[in-house]
A and B are shown apart, each in its own frame.
Chain A
Amino acid sequence: MSRRRALRALVYATLIAATLVVLLPLGVVLLTSLKSSKEMTDGSGALTPPDDPLDVHNYVEAFQDGRMLQAFGNTLFICAFAIAGTVLIGSMTAYAIDRFTFRLKKLVVALFLLAALVPGVTTQVATFQIVNSFGLFDTRWAPIVLYMGTDIVSIYIFLQFIRSIPVSLDEAARLDGANAFTIYWRIILPLLKPAIATVVIVKGIAVYNDFYIPFLYMPSQDLGVISTSLFRFRGPYGAHWEIISAGTILVILPTLIVFLALQRFIYNGFMRGATR
């Protein structure tokens, strides 16, 4: 039996080691964010606790000078439209593909499938010219249309769900005189709630964290989102790690709160989203 106990101890040792590896870099940034600039110049070690752990002065400075309020506002705006658009477009596509037979259906499906294989980053050089020609460059609509237009994963998630909704429901409604749009809006969409929750979570996290698209398409200071505003900390605060750390924690905190509140849904969402 002692071999089994040794094995158990080893399992826990690796789990604790992994926990340390994950939490240590984050913890040190949290410590640093609470130190004064004087402490930093005096050469406070990375693992030394701050003199005054309740001093949130760096956070105030990061929040104000880093224009974080504006960044959160822009991110929220883009998130809201991108998510609403993704839900509508994804569910409409899935509804059309699953509930209708029409000519060229195979081609349409193949187009969506093939697009899933094209990594977005590869085509940006050319996408940039198209976005530019629509006059969307350096507006908040550029990321919104890009996020809406390329989300194959959500279409797939909706498709899985629509298949599990019995077609007899549609038929019953049709006998009552409902047309396709009424059926979609009144019957399908409400029944898709679990799928919508999944898409909202996965898409929300993806949009909140994306750096590439806002970085390329919205260079204006005023259009900074969370990622790009934080990225701009590099210049002015180059050596002020206490301010950069505070900004970093400010960006991570909402993710942590959402994660703790919605844990179960987030796991499910990612499993459904990523395995496709």
Chain B
Amino acid sequence: MPGAPGQARRRGQGWRALTPWLFLLVPLALLITFTYAPIADMVAYSFTDWDGVSPELHYTGGHNYAEIFTRQDLFEVFFVSGYYLAASAVQIVAALYFATILSFKVRFRNFFKGVLFFPSLINGVAIGFVFLYFFQDGGTLDTVLGLFGVHTGHAWLGTPVSANISLAGVSVWRYTGLNFVLFLGAIQSIPGELYEAAELDGASRWQQFRYIIAPGIKPVVTLTVILSVSGSLSVFEVPYIMTGGATGTETFVTQTVKLAFQYNKTGLASAAAVVLLLIVLAVTWVQRRLVPDDRADLV
């Protein structure tokens, strides 16, 4: 039995070194195939004139990038994001307000909570149809406004400005509840004694908000702000379903999808996607700097 125990141990060690990799084999394969390989390919395509189908592709240098930043019709989509950014601001303020009042004692609290949150669970296509109907001429919105004596002979989705405001409004309707629940969770994780103590000291509701709630939920709010920025840049579903990008409602992603899958401009679409990715990464990087998030450590 020469060196039996030592060998067994070494073999055991070999296994032990291998074991984590056996667990990680499939996850890593999927991660690389469907996240990192596409990113690498995308960057490569972005320097070519590829149409996505033909075997022929030519290296065109920075031509696609130049086109994105110089062609007005391609660049304009960035301004559309502005509407969604404004909507995010409304959404966050509304969510903060409702989270604050519903964290205190309110009648039918669970009912209100459920109603506010439910829209964020609804299918995007369904939401698109609900609001397509809502904004129709003589549809829900016009009827309701009529009840208040306001008559607008107005096609809500007819002009670029009102169409974008309407679509951004849908975003507010859809996502306020999600932010609300996140804020509510953060508020409820603040220990209750703090309020009791404050109440004993005669602090008003506003003071309680200002000095207890606001600092307690700051990390979640900052995170939401950053997510809203990248969300505003990558809006797709609702404008695609409701207007198909007509009347100046084209967003960055609806445009990229069209370039790639309708006009077969894979090269140009890839360059657009790279630009979007860089913006989102920059925004996230800024967030990590501003809020060093100690909970997001994976190790």
The reply to whether A230 and B121 contact each other, CB–CB distance below 8 Å, is no
The reply to whether A121 and B234 contact each other, CB–CB distance below 8 Å, is yes
B27 at the interface (CB under 8 A from A): yes
Task: A233 to B237: give the CA distance in the assembly, Å.
Answer: 16
Give the Cβ gap from A122 to chain B, nearest Cβ, in Å. 5
When the two chains form the complex, which single residue of A124, A241, A259 contacts B133, counting CB atoms closer than 8 Å? Answer: A241
The reply to whether A89 and B112 contact each other, CB–CB distance below 8 Å, is no
Contact (A25, B134) CB under 8 Å given A47-B140, A180-B19, A271-B181: yes
Per-residue CB contact flags for chain B residues 212-245 toward chain A (1 = under 8 Å, else 0) read 0000000010010000001000101100010000
Contact (A125, B181) CB under 8 Å given A109-B298, A259-B118: no
The reply to whether A216 and B261 contact each other, CB–CB distance below 8 Å, is yes
When the two chains form the complex, which single residue of A14, A92, A97, A255 contacts B121, counting CB atoms closer than 8 Å? Answer: A255
Task: A245 to B181: give the CA distance in the assembly, Å.
Answer: 28
Give the Cβ gap from A145 to chain B, nearest Cβ, in Å. 7
Per-residue CB contact flags for chain A residues 81-115 toward chain B (1 = under 8 Å, else 0) read 00000000100110111011011011011011101
The reply to whether A97 and B298 contact each other, CB–CB distance below 8 Å, is yes
Kindly list chain A residues whose C-beta atoms are within 8 Å of the C-beta of B101: 11, 14-15
Q: Which of A32, A180, A245 has the most CB of B within 10 A?
A: A180
The reply to whether A18 and B98 contact each other, CB–CB distance below 8 Å, is yes
Kindly list chain B residues whose C-beta atoms are within 8 Å of the C-beta of A58: none
The reply to whether B39 and A126 contact each other, CB–CB distance below 8 Å, is yes
Give the Cβ gap from A119 to chain B, nearest Cβ, in Å. 5
Task: A148 to B248: give the CA distance in the assembly, Å.
Answer: 35
Task: A243 to B55: give the CA distance in the assembly, Å.
Answer: 45
The reply to whether A184 and B31 contact each other, CB–CB distance below 8 Å, is no
When the two chains form the complex, which single residue of B97, B257, B280 contacts A119, counting CB atoms closer than 8 Å? Answer: B280
Interface stretch among A165-173, A190-198, A262-270?
A262-270
How many A residues, CB 8 Å from partner? 91
Task: A11 to B104: give the CA distance in the assembly, Å.
Answer: 11
When the two chains form the complex, which single residue of A106, A130, A155, A216 contacts B34, counting CB atoms closer than 8 Å? Answer: A130
The reply to whether A89 and B39 contact each other, CB–CB distance below 8 Å, is no
Kindly list chain B residues whose C-beta atoms are within 8 Å of the C-beta of A266: 121
Kindly list chain B residues whose C-beta atoms are within 8 Å of the C-beta of A209: 121-124
The reply to whether B131 and A25 contact each other, CB–CB distance below 8 Å, is yes
A79 at the interface (CB under 8 A from B): no
The reply to whether A227 and B26 contact each other, CB–CB distance below 8 Å, is no
Give the Cβ gap from A212 to chain B, nearest Cβ, in Å. 6
Task: A137 to B276: give the CA distance in the assembly, Å.
Answer: 25
Task: A96 to B276: give the CA distance in the assembly, Å.
Answer: 33
When the two chains form the complex, which single residue of B20, B112, B147 contacts A96, counting CB atoms closer than 8 Å? Answer: B20
The reply to whether B185 and A15 contact each other, CB–CB distance below 8 Å, is no
The reply to whether B45 and A126 contact each other, CB–CB distance below 8 Å, is yes
The reply to whether A121 and B121 contact each other, CB–CB distance below 8 Å, is no
The reply to whether A122 and B121 contact each other, CB–CB distance below 8 Å, is no
When the two chains form the complex, which single residue of A21, A23, A111, A267 contacts B117, counting CB atoms closer than 8 Å? Answer: A267
The reply to whether B39 and A123 contact each other, CB–CB distance below 8 Å, is yes
Task: A156 to B297: give the CA distance in the assembly, Å.
Answer: 9
When the two chains form the complex, which single residue of A14, A92, A227 contacts B97, counting CB atoms closer than 8 Å? Answer: A14
Contact (A47, B117) CB under 8 Å given A121-B253, A130-B38, A227-B123: no
The reply to whether A125 and B140 contact each other, CB–CB distance below 8 Å, is no
Instruction: Give the residues from 145 to 174 in chain B that come closer than 8 angstroms, CB to CB, to chain A.
Output: 147, 173
Task: A270 to B178: give the CA distance in the assembly, Å.
Answer: 8
The reply to whether A25 and B298 contact each other, CB–CB distance below 8 Å, is no
Q: Which of B120, B237, B266 has the most CB of A within 10 A?
A: B237
Instruction: Give the residues from 19 to 45 in chain A that come closer than 8 angstroms, CB to CB, to chain B.
Output: 19, 21-26, 28-29, 32, 45
The reply to whether A112 and B121 contact each other, CB–CB distance below 8 Å, is no
Task: A227 to B284: give the CA distance in the assembly, Å.
Answer: 30
Kindly list chain A residues whose C-beta atoms are within 8 Å of the C-beta of B34: 127, 130, 145-146, 149-150
B-side residues, CB < 8 A to A, are 16-17, 19-21, 23-24, 26-28, 30-39, 41-42, 45, 52, 94, 97-98, 101-102, 106-107, 110, 112-126, 129-131, 133-134, 138-140, 142-144, 147, 173, 177-178, 181-182, 185-186, 205, 220, 223, 230, 234, 236-237, 241, 253, 256-257, 260-261, 266, 269-270, 273, 276-277, 280-281, 284, 295-296, 298-299
A sample of 15 inter-chain contacts (CB < 8 A) reads A12-B106, A12-B107, A24-B140, A96-B21, A100-B19, A115-B36, A119-B234, A122-B42, A123-B38, A125-B273, A128-B260, A149-B30, A150-B35, A211-B241, A241-B133
A-side residues, CB < 8 A to B, are 7, 11-12, 14-15, 18-19, 21-26, 28-29, 32, 45-47, 89, 92-93, 95-97, 99-100, 102-103, 105-106, 108-109, 111-113, 115, 117-119, 121-130, 145-146, 148-150, 155-156, 159, 180, 184, 205, 208-209, 211-212, 216, 226-228, 230-231, 233, 241, 244-245, 247-248, 251-252, 255-256, 259-260, 263, 266-267, 270-271, 274-276
The 8 A-B pairs with the shortest beta carbon distances in the complex, nearest first, are A149-B30, A96-B23, A126-B42, A100-B20, A126-B38, A271-B185, A126-B41, A149-B34
* Given A14-B98, A126-B273, A211-B237, 17 new contacts (CB under 8 A): A15-B102, A18-B98, A18-B112, A22-B173, A45-B138, A93-B24, A100-B16, A118-B35, A118-B277, A125-B273, A126-B41, A126-B270, A130-B33, A209-B123, A211-B123, A216-B261, A230-B125
